[in-house]
Amino acid sequence: MGRNGHALKISVIGTGYLGLTHAVCMADLGHQVLAVDVDADKIQKAARGEAPFFEPGLEPLLRKNLDAGRLRFTGSFAAVADFADVHFLCVGTPQAAGGHADLGYLDAAVDALAPHLTRKTLLVGKSTVPVGTAWLLRARARAAAPAGGEVDLAWNPEFLREGYAVRDSLAPDRIVFGVTSDRADQALRLVYATPLAAGVPALTMDLETAELVKVAANSFLATKISFINVMAEMCETTGADVLKLAEAIGMDDRIGRKFLSPGLGFGGGCLPKDIRAFRSTAAERGVSSLVGLLTAVDTINLGRRQRAVAMTREAVGGVLAGKRIAVLGVAFKPNSDDIRDSPSLDVCRQLAAEGAVMSVHDPVAMPNAARAEPGLRYADSVGAAAEDAEVVLHLTEWADYRAIDPAALAKVVACPVLIDARCTLDASQWGAAGWSVHVPGQPRQQRPEGTQNAWPARPRARRRQRAPAAG
């Protein structure tokens, strides 16, 4: 029996980031969960208690629920249809050429499941989709299912963040139910009885609004980030400090400080593709003002990467070819090994394309980055990455990097020049340790009297010294 007294039989279709996390969290709420995927390798790993990606807290919860017998994995859609009364669709909706969402996996999931649906069933979409998709999927499922009109469909968008996936799933800010019947609403309220009893608000609405809530939320977050990044540009031209500005405007409750961290902009598997897909939908529907807004947000965001490349070029004297550049962080954000649309990896690619010699470090994302960009050199510690570097770029703000001893690192580099593209290192500490520090949107860190505002005139002679361990 579930914690809330309503243990349901639930299936989860797709065991990627969203699906595996959802399956584990549903089981942890006390439900009986059977998850299905067409990728046999993923299924086998998950059944052994291994998450195929880095997500703090997920593996222990996966093992706990496997051991408790509440969570199982299969490759059979017939088994899933037979087992569950509520089926969560959690497959990916990647960006297609042209920017719109590719719904191929969703269609395939419904096509695989529907022919086995012989009784009253609720399908629940969680994937991020263009508005109007839910109705099409409902018609598609009903047409292929022996149960026909007994198959209902709801939309229940997911708002989890990578790195906080478990917490966001078990204790979300809100739960959205897009439904066309009371029956679906009631079924979803039973599924989520535990968080609802704990006070998480639930909002019931139509399918279209539920679909839009998700893309609107991600678009707003992306807009906030691009807003603070254009403020960073403004600060750079005026000598103002964007971090102080963000702090000051963020204290206004109506604005809020979250998602106002300036720097390299947003990446990952969600925000960039979601704003492009939403822009596509807006264009199809003739909402040109939204097309304009989202185009500006995207352009500003991609401009941050070019800005980081330009700052690096300037720091090494104008020509990148042959310059040794150390990069700290390649994941699209800290606490993740995800490199999808990673701003850092994009910067690395652009620098390498101009002939720079790149040495890269990341606490967890290097295996994924090495598969995507085998031409970069991957170093197993911060010190090894920075050895003989002419400039060090801080591109993903892992907590480990805030613990680096700048004085020790200064001893292994060729030039103590830091570009803190994520604006999170202690610039005065690095400056005091002899580094020339450049942070987007902030006045240049003053170096000791007489040398301020000067990049080192030329690299110090290359030294062969043992590098310090990673910070």
Query: Which residues are known catalytic residues?
Result: 270
Place of tokens 């103002």: 240
The torsion angles phi and psi of 148, rounded to 5 degrees, stand at: 50, -120
**Which CB sits closer to ligand UGA, 114 or 300?**
300
d(CA 311, CA 455): 11
Residue range at the interface with ligand UGA (CB under 6 A); choices 234-242, 264-272, 405-413, 459-467: 264-272
Q: Does 271 bind ligand UGA (CB under 6 A)?
A: yes
State the number of binding residues for ligand UGA (CB under 6 A): 22
The torsion angles phi and psi of 9, rounded to 5 degrees, stand at: -100, 115
Q: Does 346 bind ligand UGA (CB under 6 A)?
A: no
Q: Does 337 bind ligand UGA (CB under 6 A)?
A: no
Among 161, 167, 349, 444, binds ligand UGA (CB under 6 A): 161
The residues with which 87 forms a beta bridge, in sequence order, are 11, 123
**Which CB sits closer to ligand UGA, 260 or 376?**
260
Among 53, 64, 79, 159, binds ligand UGA (CB under 6 A): 159
Whether residue 401 contacts residue 394, with contact meaning beta carbons closer than 8 Å, is answered with yes
Residue range at the interface with ligand UGA (CB under 6 A); choices 24-32, 36-44, 111-119, 258-266: 258-266
CB burial string 12-40: b at 16+ within 10 A, e below: bbbbbbbbbbbbbbbbbbbbbbbbbbbee
Q: Does 166 bind ligand UGA (CB under 6 A)?
A: no
Q: Does 267 bind ligand UGA (CB under 6 A)?
A: yes
**Which CB sits closer to ligand UGA, 2 or 272?**
272
Phi-psi region of 64 (alpha: psi -120 to 50; beta: other; left: phi over 0): alpha
Q: Does 471 bind ligand UGA (CB under 6 A)?
A: no
Q: Site residues for ligand UGA, window 77-136 (CB under 6 A)?
A: 128
Q: Does 270 bind ligand UGA (CB under 6 A)?
A: yes
Residue range at the interface with ligand UGA (CB under 6 A); choices 69-77, 156-164, 284-292, 384-392: 156-164
Among 34, 170, 260, 379, binds ligand UGA (CB under 6 A): 260
**Which CB sits closer to ligand UGA, 290 or 407?**
290
Residue range at the interface with ligand UGA (CB under 6 A); choices 140-148, 169-177, 261-269, 424-432: 261-269
Whether residue 385 contacts residue 359, with contact meaning beta carbons closer than 8 Å, is answered with yes
Amino acid in the structure at residue 66 = L
Q: Does 225 bind ligand UGA (CB under 6 A)?
A: yes
HEC readout, 180-236: CCHHHHHHHHHHCHHHHHCCCCEEEECHHHHHHHHHHHHHHHHHHHHHHHHHHHHHH
Q: Which two tokens stand for residue 138?
A: 């409902």
Nearest to 471 by CA among 419, 412, 431: 412
Q: Does 192 bind ligand UGA (CB under 6 A)?
A: no
Q: Does 333 bind ligand UGA (CB under 6 A)?
A: yes
Nearest to 304 by CA among 245, 360, 232, 223: 232
Cβ at position 165, least distance to ligand UGA in Å? 8
Whether residue 187 contacts residue 214, with contact meaning beta carbons closer than 8 Å, is answered with no
Which positions touch ligand UGA (CB under 6 A)? 128, 158-162, 218, 221, 225, 259-261, 263, 265-268, 270-271, 274, 332-333
